[in-house]
Structure 1
Amino acid sequence: MQIAILSRTKQMLRTLSASRQMVARRTGMSFVAIALVLQSFVLVMGAQAQASSDDMISGGVGSKEQILAHYDANTNNFRDVMTYNGITRAELASMSAMKRFTVDSSSYSWGWTPRFSEAQGQREHSVAGRTVYSRPHSLWDFSWYNGWEGKSATRGAFRIVSACGNLVTYSVPTPPAPKPTPKPEPKPQPAVTCDSLTVTPIQGSRTKVRISGKASGQNGGVVKELRYYVFDTNGNTIIQASAPGAESSTTIELPDAAGTYKAQVYAISDLGNITSTSCTAQITVPEKPVTPTPTPDKPSITITKTVNKQKHAAVAVGQEFTYEITVTNTGKVALKDVVVTDNAPAEVSLVKADAGAVKDNTWTYTISEFKAGEAKSFVLTAKYSKYAAGTHKNNVCVDTPTISGGPDACDNATTQTDETIEVCVKAEKTIRTIKRSEYDASKHVDKNSDECKTKPVNPPSTPQTPPSTPSQPTPPAPQTPSTPAQPSTPAPSAPTVTVMPQTGPLNVASGLFGVSGIAGMAYAYVASRRSLR
């Protein structure tokens, strides 16, 4: 019995020792695993920290959609770098699926940090105010990478690296040539310039003018005074004047002799006496004006005449018409006692005048004062007392003692008249006055002819039978309306059944099946509750 107990105890001790060893081994393996994870995390974090400054898209990209999103947001100037290389959004969207590529010596990797030297092929590019670098891809210490490949119309084949979003191209844009260093500007030297000379004539004088000069100093140059000179046609100085300062004016008087003179101004300074073409002007003294001999003003007068406001008029016998007369003083002196006379022809009788007097068929009017440029008009009324053949001229004249000689001006107007006769118009059987030239034997007869007498017409006889009184109309008899027939009521018809209700064994069977299902569910529920107990 003791032996059995002892054996059992040893076995238990051996089992306990094996368990302790197993726990120790598992604990050691756990610490090793934790250490490996921490070491990997440190290595990865260090690598990411080292690469993030050069990445165009920090942390890299996993799909073309992410690339396009960074392009649209211009993340880290990603779109600016693409645009600089002539790569469009559509060309990015058309890239191939992501695959593995081998680094070759003809490609260039783009990034934001300088990793190599210019001698190794690294180049600087200015994009959006930042410096981006392109360098031979083969300088890196890896041989393959995952990414996407596309085709640019400008740059050719290109790739986007998945791990960092950096661009890979097979050519790079040529950077612009550096601007040349500007040469140092020479130190400005003092200078003086003569700027202008103007000549202004003095009103009312042939020989006096006012001359004005202006000069300026630059970079420390100082104008002390302006000196004016006037030269004759032989170049001799005939006038000299001066005034202090860089701007002044002075009045000079030229010789009385007509001619052209040269004026010039000089700017006097420590740099010398300076002038220019702008400081030279020509001055002309005109000839003395010749006073014209006055010519005495000559008197002049005109007269016009019309009949019924025209030069010739045809009027009827006994019908009044008018002569219009206008007298104008066309000279430059006033006239006195201007007499206007109108002698009517014997065939025409002067009836009246709006001014002056008519005597012995002659009209006369005297204008006592007639100013220069003044005009006066008169109207004479006349008529033909009887027919007179032909054209008859009426003269009017004006005469003034200021102008020597006979009538100083005359004018005329002509009239004519037609002989009239009284005739009987056949169609009208009336007596009318017409011109003799209008007489037509087929239309007219002598006013005393029997054809012109109107024959009386007997009036119609009075009707003997009086009109009959119309009979009264008989109104129509009223009609009694007929009673309308009563409408018949239609008999109701039974409704037509189009679908028969479904009944029979099928419905009974389906009902029994449903009840059985419910009973089975209830039994299952009770059984489950018992098993739980």
Structure 2
Amino acid sequence: MRDLLKKIISFAKNHPVIISSILVSVFVPLVYTLAYGPNRNTYTVAKPADHIVFNSIVDNPTLGGNEQDFVGIREVGTSNAWSNSVQAKPGKEYYVRMYVHNNAASNLKLVAQNVVAKLNVPTNTAKSITLQGQVSASNATPATVWDEATLKSDRDFNLAYVAGSATYTSNKLNGVALPDSIVTNTGAKLGYDKLDGNIPGCFEYSGYVTLKVKPQFAPEEKSDIALSKKVRNKTNGEKAWNEIVNAKSGDTVQFQIEAKNNGSATIDNMVLRDILPNGLEYVAGTTKLYNKANNGLKVSDNLVADSGINVGSYGPNANVFVRFDAKVSENQKLPKCGENTLTNLAQASNQKIVQNDTASVKVNKTCETPKPSTYKCESLSIKPIRKTSGFDTTQNKPFGTETFEFDTKYSLQNTEFVGVKYVIKNSKGETVIEKTVNNGSKLTVEISIAGKYTVTSTVLSKDGQNSAQNCEKHFEVKNQEKPSISIRKTVNNQKNITVEAEKEFNYELLVTNNGNVDLRDIVVSDKAPANITFISADRGTLLNNNLTYKIANLKVGESQIITIKAKATAVGISSRNIACVNTPVIPGDNDGCDSANIEVPKKDTPPAPKQPELPSELPKTGADNLLEIIGLSSVVLATSYYVASRKLLK
């Protein structure tokens, strides 16, 4: 091992460059990561330093934690939090703040001497610039502490110190000016109640250095395109280029597009495009390119397509020309009669900006004098098609829906038919239907509210509209509903039967919708007559010998049957049982009733018992008979005595 150590020491002595490189590779990233230094002992509020040392307390509540991180930046004019990294913006200034605190315990009364603050403002140009703030004292250990903060941008910039902006603030000094030497190796002397370089140990003697820096950006290159569009009549042999020319149907005109780079940055992939108006037709194969490298190079016909053509890259003040021919359309294809101004639009783009310019061709279109147009509504007819039924739940009443077909006869000359407009109004003059038929003259509508109506038809043409008195009709929608309901009552499926008392029998109630509208909320009621008891029912509710049953909905022709089990409780009776039905769809109460009858006969009376016949002669009075009478009397007397004794005992 000793031999190995000797070899290592010998290697280090003979190869110092290699050893220093290794040390730099190990320690430099660590220092960069920390962004403050030097590496030193740290303290807390509860246990401050026993000697003079600056910015080493790690739980400073005023600074928000670690005093080693004592340099911060924020934009001037904002209340943003102090940060170690801020985005630099053109035209803005930024405060740089340094916290200064002698961490020696107050009871030691240790005063730091020759306290100086420095801020290293780099002069290089980059996208990221780091500022380093330092606080030094001649009797501090370590003598100097430092921290860093960074300004960044996506563009290159450099930093300038704003002269005269440095100040120092403590409990005794309120923003006192510091010399501009703070951004030099000399630095600026600080203090507590005056700038004498002396700062006692404790929080109450701490302070802040504040100054301004300003990022400076190089002028940003700008892209700008100047576009010019000209035209000349090639058929007439014109040489000069103009913004507008006169031509006739069939003439050939030539357009020229000039695009120039008016910016400070090179324009790559400049695209030119031309949009021809209706009345001008591109002549295929006539597009040619003129620039520094080409003099009339034939290029793609895509100039007049959506994609345009890529004419290459152009530096500041460089330009390019594109020329092509177009033919004025035949007379009948021109947009309108009389003078037409056909404006041609050119576009130049570099994917960021688009410039437009135009040139025009004036051409006259000869048209025949149009014949006067006529359009007239001749007649209106109404044809009922069908009637349907329904129930208006909001009005709680039935309604009749009727379908009508309206047809208008009209005449048109020298104009184009557009359609027929129908307007239907109610008796109050309110429009309930307004519809235009564009593909004919007939309109079919359904109207579900009864009342009197007026329909008006108007013929629409390209040149105007017309309605006449005979194109207005009146019609009426009536309620066609006939609701009806019936109830049929039977007993054991008969109208009249004879039953025995206390023996069960059945009443049947048949409820039928025999109208032409669906019914709702139908109430069936049946009250048992005297001497009849309702035992049970397969529908509804029995209460106090009364049946009540509600049918929510009953469609047209639909029926429901209710069966009631009952019995008679007396004999010798004739009982008529009445059931009724009622629905709110039909006005009034008890929209239908029906009855069924039962007879309960009396039972046969058994014959009365016969009275015993008296003997034809008195009994004999003999000794035997006398003894029998006496014996019987004794028995009767003994029995009476026993009964009396029992009552007394009670």
Superposition TM-score tier, normalisation by shorter sequence = under 0.3
**Whose radius of gyration is greater, 1 or 2?**
1
TM-score w.r.t. the length of structure 1 is 0.25
Which structure dedicates a bigger proportion of its chain to strand?
A: 2
Which structure dedicates a bigger proportion of its chain to helix?
A: 1
